[in-house]
């Protein structure tokens, strides 16, 4: 069962289990077409060290009736605003695929807003650096092309994608997310102060090691890159190893 935080932010920030009483808060950002529930296994794996919450973008699951947003900037603006009340404990951000870019832009906003929580660390996953986005136009193509792109990256049961009712349910949000990430352009010299721990799957068709290493100039803090066996959704098969990497990263910055 999803347990939401209190107040107006509960549409955007979701919590799946009782909060860890003393650790930092890890905010997770889904991939294009994804939802907060994708991070439920990770929240269980990290329950000993952090309060794991996830962002729920509009246009999916219980927000299906809402219009999805079509720009990274709009998503980052509203998520950053909804994280303003979360200064009661250290804050860390984890983003998968498109979520990495949204999380990066959220940190940029928080670091430049007086009185905002200052993020400890960013964990970008399965995404080229903001300055290394690949040109693509899936969002402007037909429904079959959008669904084929989702299928190519894995992570979704093909039988589900073949279901006409499910297809019509996910297509508006997926197309909006593709538009957001495909039209995103990072501002020249975009840099955050938070350290980065970048993670990729070693056979991910969506990001190369060089594209992942290109995150390095986007932080003034410490940086490292870890590769895991698997493709774009390596998290699903490498959950324990990924959780250990995040745990080490959180403990490292928390003890400074």
pLDDT tens sequence across 68-104 = 999 999 999 999 999 999 988 999 999 999 999 999 9
Determine the Cα–Cα distance for residues 128 and 173; give it in Å rounded to an integer: 22
Superfamily covering domain 3-254: Alpha/Beta hydrolase fold, catalytic domain (3.40.50.1820)
* Backbone φ and ψ of 124, nearest 5°: -80, 140
Per-10-residue mean pLDDT, the chain, length 256: 48 83 91 94 94 96 95 97 93 98 98 94 98 82 81 71 79 94 95 98 96 98 97 96 97 69
* Helix, strand, coil percentages, rounded to 5, for the chain: 45, 15, 40
- The pTM assigned to this predicted structure is 0.92
Give the 3-state DSSP-derived string for 135-170, with helices as H, strands as E and coil as C: CCCHHHCCHHHHHHHHHHHCCCCHHHHCCHHHHHHH
pLDDT tens sequence across 21-31 = 778 999 999 99
DSSP string, 47-60: TTT-EEEEE--TTS
Determine the Cα–Cα distance for residues 196 and 100; give it in Å rounded to an integer: 11
Domain residue limits, the chain: 3-254
Instruction: Report angle CA 43, 125, 118 to the nearest 5 degrees.
Output: 70
DSSP string, 31-46: PTT--GGGGHHHHHHT
Alpha-helix residue ranges (DSSP H) falling in 89-228: 98-111, 143-153, 158-161, 164-182, 209-213
- Residues with a catalytic annotation lie at 97
Determine the Cα–Cα distance for residues 80 and 76; give it in Å rounded to an integer: 6
């Amino acid at each position: 069962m999803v347990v939401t935080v209190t107040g107006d932010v509960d549409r955007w920030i979701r919590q799946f289990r009782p909060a860890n009483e003393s650790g930092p808060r890890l905010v997770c950002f889904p991939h294009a077409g994804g939802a907060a529930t994708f991070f439920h296994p990770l929240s269980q794996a990290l329950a000993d060290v952090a309060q794991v919450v996830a962002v729920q973008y509009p246009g999916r699951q219980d927000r299906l009736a809402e219009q999805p947003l079509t720009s990274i900037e709009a998503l980052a603006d509203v998520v950053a605003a909804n994280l303003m009340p979360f200064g009661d404990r250290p804050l860390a951000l984890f983003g998968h695929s498109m979520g990495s870019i949204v999380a990066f832009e959220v940190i940029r906003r928080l670091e430049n807003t007086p009185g905002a929580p200052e993020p400890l660390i960013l964990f970008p996953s399965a995404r080229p650096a903001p300055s290394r986005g690949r040109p693509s136009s899936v969002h402007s193509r037909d429904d079959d092309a959008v669904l084929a792109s989702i299928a190519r990256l894995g992570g979704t049961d093909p039988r589900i994608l073949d279901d006409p009712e499910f297809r019509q349910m996910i297509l508006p949000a997926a197309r909006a997310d593709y538009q957001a990430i495909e039209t995103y352009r990072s501002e020249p010299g975009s840099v955050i102060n938070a350290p980065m721990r970048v993670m990729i799957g070693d056979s991910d068709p969506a990001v190369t090691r060089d594209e992942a290493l290109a995150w390095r100039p986007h932080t003034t803090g410490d940086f490292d890159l870890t590769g895991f066996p698997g493709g774009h959704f390596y998290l699903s098969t490498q959950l324990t190893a990924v959780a250990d990497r995040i745990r080490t990263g959180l403990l490292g910055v928390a003890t400074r």
